[in-house]
Structure 1
Amino acid sequence: MTRTLLGALLVALILALVAPAGAQAKDPRWHFYTSDHHRYRSPWFAGAHRIMIGFGCNRSPWYAHDSRCPGSQGYHHGIDIAMDCGTPLYAGLSGRVLSPSAPGRPGSAYGVHPFRLRVKAYGRSVDILIGHARTVFVKSGERVKAGQRIALASDSGAPDGCHLHFEVRPVDGGYHSAIRPRKWLQLRAVV
């Protein structure tokens, strides 16, 4: 082996050893519309990742002005978690995959393969919408168990890079009826 190749391999090995645990690549399309710099783990996805856009009023250019928000801010109906394309997504709670034609079905802004799971937790049933998935491993009507791999993250329908869009709605509700998703996402900050 040449000295140059050995040197390059040594540098790569050192960088791999000193990189922070759970470091993720930076997609140049990611822009974080939150002051939260924590990385989070969740039973809904592999690894630890940052929130790109939180629930509610925000200054992201992807949402039209909403009367609930100050100035020209728009309203985001879920939480977007930045993650590399292909990151495994899991069912954080047991439930049933809903038919795409069920009431409250998502539109094209959620990507090519958005899907919903009906789950029961915290004393109520809700529909959890997973947006921007690439490959979906579950089918309409299927029962899923907590921890089961359900999809891979993607940038399908998302101009701002690969991420998980996680939205919680009342049973059969549309995006205007979305509720705060954070407790359902079960985020745990990584120290």
Structure 2
Amino acid sequence: MLALVVGLLPGAVSPADARPDPRWHFYTRDRTRYVSPWFAGARRIMVPYGCTRAPYYDPDPRCAHHRGFHHGIDVAMPCGTPLYAGRRGRVLSPSAPGRPGPAYGVHPFRIRSAVGGHVRDILIGHARRVYVQPGEWVRRGQLIARASDSGAPDGCHLHFEVRLPGRGYTGAIDPSSYLMLRPA
């Protein structure tokens, strides 16, 4: 009975939505499902940070075999999956320096957070609906958005990127520790 009630909660991802998106393509051999305070459920990584064979990126001199460089981590999830603030921080104005382009979808946003004594901008791409506004402080665990396929040719997913403050994608650093992934 409880499972039925939970499935009917507003905004909950129904079992039908939990089916794999036929557009998903995984550019990693990692088949592990991960949990994170940033999203609901156990999910697989589609495109890891760094050099990748995914066809969406121009060749990068850091990468062998003319591969491109992915500045974040893409995590496959059904459209509508709740996204939560994994850390406390302040939502930045869309006009802040380093604004993400259309490849991040129509509702990308950033949260500036002090992490381990360092200030970092956490960028969330491919959001369907964003529940937070620029200037607002978010607390850990707060519902901030829902996943979508906006700007994503390969289906619904979360793009999670960490940048140095005020910098564009060239200021991106490995977001793995900030995403706090744990095997399910």
TM-score w.r.t. length of structure 2: 0.90
SS at match of 2:58: coil
**Retained in 2: the 8 A contact 1:27–1:161?**
yes
2: CA distance, partners of 1:160 / 1:112: 16
Consecutive unaligned residues of structure 2, counting only runs of 5 or more, are 1-16
Is 1:93 the counterpart of 2:87? The answer is yes
2: CA distance, partners of 1:38 / 1:24: 16
1:155-170 residue pairs with structure 2 within 5 A? 155-170=149-164
2: CA distance, partners of 1:48 / 1:83: 9
- How many residue pairs align between the two structures? 168
1: CA distance, partners of 2:172 / 2:128: 23
Consecutive unaligned residues of structure 1, counting only runs of 5 or more, are 1-22
1:43-82 residue pairs with structure 2 within 5 A? 43-82=37-76
Name the % identity.
Answer: 65
Letter in 2 for 1:52: M
1:27-176 residue pairs with structure 2 within 5 A? 27-176=21-170
TM-score w.r.t. length of structure 1: 0.87
**Retained in 2: the 8 A contact 1:132–1:156?**
yes
SS at match of 1:71: helix
2: CA distance, partners of 1:46 / 1:73: 31
Letter in 2 for 1:78: G
SS at match of 1:184: helix
Provide runs of 4+ in structure 1 moved above 3 Å.
none
Letter in 1 for 2:95: S
SS at match of 2:158: strand
RMSD value over aligned CA atoms?
1.0
2: CA distance, partners of 1:149 / 1:107: 24
**Retained in 2: the 8 A contact 1:27–1:84?**
yes
Which has more radius of gyration? Answer: 1
2: CA distance, partners of 1:188 / 1:128: 19
